[in-house]
A = this chain, B = another copy of it.
Amino acid sequence: MAWGRTRLGWRGPGGPSSARAGRPRYPTQVTDLNRSVITLSCLDRPGIVHAVSGAIVEAAGNITESQQYSSPDTGRFFLRVQVEHASAPDRLRAALDPVAQSFDGVLGLDASGRPVRTLILVSAAPHCLNALLSRQRQGALPIEVPLVLSNHEGLADLAAFYGVPFEHHPVFPKTKAWMEDRIRQVLADYDIELVVLARYMQIISPGLCADLAGRAINIHHSFLPGFKGANPYRQAHARGVKLIGATAHFVTADLDEGPIIAQNVTPAGHSKSVAQLVESGRDIESATLAEAVRLFAEHRILLDGVRTVVFS
């Protein structure tokens, strides 16, 4: 499956991306100066940074930015490094692969700024889709979007404006499985690396959630305190909350309980109606989802069990 190969291609240590047919993501020719992003996670023990930096020196690379974190909760170590290197990317990978293997780590290697292939799922609300595509067009979000998939047709014109193909299929209880099959097919056909639920108002089945683990981002409203059940903005209004917020998180089978990527809030006075809270919510949702997608596309998010390590 392309999705699986994709994952191995730039995240896993299993094989060079050049082995993949079709869409080579990583340039293989020697240019004057390549810029790459390296990520590594493994059990923490002495010498990891020394070994990685040694591999970089070996590949004639220079570290321009680096962040790392040792998790006291899980005992794991996380590293993100940006390098400039006169060598070919394959040489950098060849130097790093043995290091990752010796620490039994998960290695990621990608060209800095390469657009990440992203499938966006939407329903009727345009604000999140607009936030993503407008930032993408302005060069502020390194993604490419081969398809927007929806259970409504309402956002077809917005996608068309940004020149993005759009497909819609009504989803009813009996077509739900069909839609998920279509999603899987798109993942494979378009070599998708990231799925964004941009206010996609359908529950994803546990099976698909599992397949998308760590690769699908959802956005939802958040309040202090949280409110369970239907119509949370109405509940928030009824309780008179003074802040409303949004949380972007990875999709898991536990609804809205996946690892948190980004959170923001905005003030909400007593005079705001439910409709005005919903409007404020749109702004904060758009900004928070766009932030989370940027962090993902720049390989700044690593998973530490149910928590995220975000090298922002």
Contact = CB atoms under 8 A, between A and B. Distances in A.
Interface of A: 44-50, 53-54, 56-57, 60-70, 72-73, 126-127, 130, 134, 137-138, 140, 157-158, 161, 222-226, 237-243, 245, 247, 256, 259-265, 269-271, 273, 279, 282-283, 287, 304, 306-310, 312
Contact of A307 (B48, B53, B68, B270): B270
Given A72-B273, A243-B245, A44 B66 contact: no
A290 to B, nearest CB: 9
A291 to B, nearest CB: 9
Given A67-B67, A68-B66, A260 B279 contact: no
Candidate in A53, A138, A307 with the most chain B CB atoms within 10 angstroms = A53
A270 B69 contact: yes
Number of copies: 4
B273 A283 contact: no
Rank and list the top 8 A-B pairs by shortest CB-CB distance, nearest first: A240-B307, A225-B226, A50-B53, A222-B224, A161-B161, A49-B53, A226-B226, A242-B263
A28 to B, nearest CB: 22
A307 B224 contact: no
Nearest to A243: B263
Contact of A279 (B64, B140, B245, B256): B140
A220 to B, nearest CB: 10
A260 B238 contact: no
Contacts of A67: 66-68
